[in-house]
Structures are given as structure tokens and as C-alpha cells.
Structure 1
Amino acid sequence: MSTIDKVAWIHLRDGKILSTRSRGKDRFYLPGGKREAGESDVDCLRREVREELAVELRVDSIGYLATFQAQAHGHPDGVLVKMICYAAEPVGEPTASAEIEEWQWLGYADRERASVVDGLVFDWLRERGVLV
């Protein structure tokens, strides 16, 4: 079994979560991605969010939330994604860039539009009363 190591940004506003859809993909994913060699979680998160949404994350606001693991969407059975999630305050408003086709604020009713591991995040946030 192989595991994809991913770092993700959880950003909530008005009870909804910021989510992105890459060009050619049919599901929404939390902003973030795979770390490069020697890169810390924080460095990876900041780089990925900057590349995908053209916003900076305030370093002093970055905080670990939780880690989730599930079958990786679009990969063969047995390929898992481990997603380490952080909250952070952005500087500026998101703009789709790089491989991102669009971004949206999703509520719990949109859970099926997201990847499997993101669905676990939706459930976790709903249990805590912060995702409507």
C-alpha cells in the first residue's frame, strides 16, 4: 500500500469551507498539496496556497487542526492520501491560478462534490458545528 503525503489549508467563512477544483478534475479538493524534499508542513502549505490561490498565509496564524487518511480519489485501490490540515489567516482574497480552474465556498450539502478524504474533513467540521 502506498500513501500520498499532503498538507491542506482549512479556511472557513460563514459556515462554509474554501475548496478548489483543478483543471480536468471532477472533484473539489482543499487547497494544498504534496511537500517537496526537505520542505516543512508550513513551508509546503504556504507555497501551495500561494501557487494555487495567489494569497499569502500569515505565518503567525498557522495552526495544526487534524490529520485525515482515506482512499486517494482517482488512484488505484490501496493508494491512500494522508492529509495534514492547518488553519491560517490569508492576506488578500483568493484568485484561481496555476492548475486551479475554480474555487468555491462549499457547505456540508456539497460533501459529495469533494474527494473522499475531504469528505472526512467535512464530517469532522460538521461534528464541531462549524460547517453548515
Structure 2
Amino acid sequence: MIKTRIAAIIIQNNKILLLKGRGYEELWTPGGKIEENETDEDCLRRELHEEINVKLKGFKFFKSYTAKSPYHDWNTHQRAYIASIEGEIQPRAEIEDYVWYTKDDLINKKYPMIPINEVIINDLIEQGIF
């Protein structure tokens, strides 16, 4: 079984936004599973509102990934978008906290993160985006 997830890559001031879900140790990018009949844009808008109470300002496709889910017995297909937001970040519902992650944080493994995010961030660095 493969589940599709849409990820928002939000970079501001050379830092990338990562979220910590309630009951989880690892950090991940904002986003979530795409719902039936939902476009990627619809999913980005919904997830950003549900998770951190912000509006999607703009987005551009970055890359697709497939990986084993760290929490379930299935693979996830993840489409990552570089996104810009407007509004003040306010963690909601299933989100406990957020961090603005730097390249040094990645090198020093300051925070645990789900494996696919390490791949995404390394791709962003290799392409000079982060």
C-alpha cells in the first residue's frame, strides 16, 4: 500500500520550518495525506491551516520521494513543494511545537527528524536552495 503525502518546504532567513507532532519525537515538514478529490494545492492550504494556522501564499513543485513510513507498515509517496506563507505560526490540534532548523542543526543532528526529511533537506542544500 502507498499513501500520498504533500509536504510544504518553508524556508525563511536560511532556516527551514519543521513541526513536532503531539506524542512524537521526530520533526517533519508541514503537510499531510492528500484526501480524495483534493488537489495538491488544496491539501497544502488545508494542512497549513489545520497544523499551524497560516495561509498559503505561493508554492512551486520541488521533487517527489517514495519512502517507508516511519510509523506505519506502508510506503509513502511524498510530493514536496517550496511554499511561502502568510500569518503568524500558531501550532494547532496535533502539532505540539515547531522549530526553524538551520544547516548547522542538520550537521549536528540537533533535533531528531523523520528520515525522508533528511533526504529532502540534503537535496535542498545540493541544489543551493537551502
Cα distance, 1:24 vs structure 2 = 0.1
Query: What is the Cα-based RMSD across aligned positions, in Å?
Result: 1.4
Deviations 1:15-59 (A, max 9, x none): 22101010000100100001111101000110001000000112x
Q: Matches of 2:67 and 2:103 in 1, distance apart?
A: 18
**Contact between 1:72 and 1:116, CA under 8 Å: does it hold in 2?**
no
Cα distance, 1:83 vs structure 2 = 1.0
Among 73, 97, 115, the residue aligned to 2:70: 73
Equivalent in the alignment of 1:25: 24
Q: Quick check: which one's strand share is greater?
A: 2
Q: Matches of 1:118 and 1:43 in 2, distance apart?
A: 22
Q: Matches of 1:108 and 1:75 in 2, distance apart?
A: 28
Q: Secondary structure at the match of 2:35?
A: coil
Q: Identity of aligned pairs, percent? A: 31
TM-score norm. by structure 2 comes to: 0.89
TM-score norm. by structure 1 comes to: 0.88
**Aligned ranges 1:1-132 → 2 under 5 Å:** 2-58=1-57, 61-76=58-73, 79-111=74-106, 112=109, 113-131=112-130
Q: Secondary structure at the match of 2:27?
A: coil
One-letter amino acid of the structure 2 residue matched with residue 93 of structure 1? E
Deviations 1:43-99 (A, max 9, x none): 0110001000000112xx2211111122211223xx222110112221112111110
Cα distance, 1:108 vs structure 2 = 3.3
Closer, same or farther: CA 93–115 of 1 in aligned 2, 3 Å: same
Q: Which runs of 5+ in 2 are unaligned?
A: none
Runs of 4+ off more than 3 Å: 108-112
Q: Secondary structure at the match of 1:73?
A: coil
